[in-house]
Structure 1
Amino acid sequence: MLGLENVLIKPLLTEKTSKETESFNRYAFVVNTKANKNQIKSAVEKFFDVKVVSVRTSVLPGKTKRAGRGYKKSSASKKAYVQLQDGQKIEFFKGI
């Protein structure tokens, strides 16, 4: 079982996720590939002190790339889209 400090890797800050944050109060994170939805929900609620309504996940397979004569494969990753209750938000750049 994963510890809660090992579940969240980093927030995913892109143009698409910024639009989802403004429209639906939904934030995106890159998470550990072995983490399940319950662990992700608990980690976000603990570290950011917010109430999570729902969690959606997607697994991205690794890509194959050429390296000289051979091929290399990058590792797979997992994204989690976390929707918060109305009126709550996460400040990623607090105090900067």
Structure 2
Amino acid sequence: MNPFDILKKPVVTEKANALNEQGKYSFIVHPKANKIQIKRAVEAAYGVTVEDVKTLNYQGKAKTRYTASKIVQGRTPSYKKAIVTLAEGDFIDFYSGV
């Protein structure tokens, strides 16, 4: 399986950037991917050594919108996030292609 089928996109927020300085990187991943698949995908895509993978499942939030004709209710999509700890001295540069 292609590593980018498992890794959907990196999380680029202030909180995630603070973790980057500690050698931890966050990714939105495929909901059915396990820790071993995530580790192999990060190592193949970025050429680094992964020491630890932590996963978090986020439930989508309920949203309500009031329109002129009716009330529209729905949910934002659920997603899975992985926090990957790299070996000492390894790093990923998300901004190199910008």
Q: What TM-score does the superposition give when structure 1 sets the normalisation length? A: 0.89
Q: Which residue of 2 aligns with 1:13?
A: 12
Question: Alignment partner of 1:58: what SS?
Answer: strand
Looking at structure 2, the residues matched to 95 and 78 of structure 1 have their Cα atoms a distance apart, in angstroms, of 25
Structure with greater Cα Rg? 2
Aligned length: 94
- Tell whether the 8 Å contact from 2:10 to 2:27 is kept in structure 1 after alignment: yes
Residues 75/95 of structure 1: CA separation in 2 closer, same or farther (3 Å cut)? closer
Compute the RMSD of aligned alpha carbons: 1.4
Instruction: Give the residue type in structure 2 aligned to 1:15.
Output: E
Q: List per-residue Cα deviations over 1:29-75 (Å, max 9, x = no partner).
A: 01111111111000000000000000001010011111342411122
- The residue number in structure 1 matching 2:42 is 44
TM-score (norm 2): 0.88
- Percent identity over the alignment is 38
The amino acid that maps onto 1:12 is V
1:93 maps to amino acid? Y
Structure 1: segments with no counterpart, 5+ residues: none
Would you say the 8 A contact 2:59–2:79 is kept in 1? yes
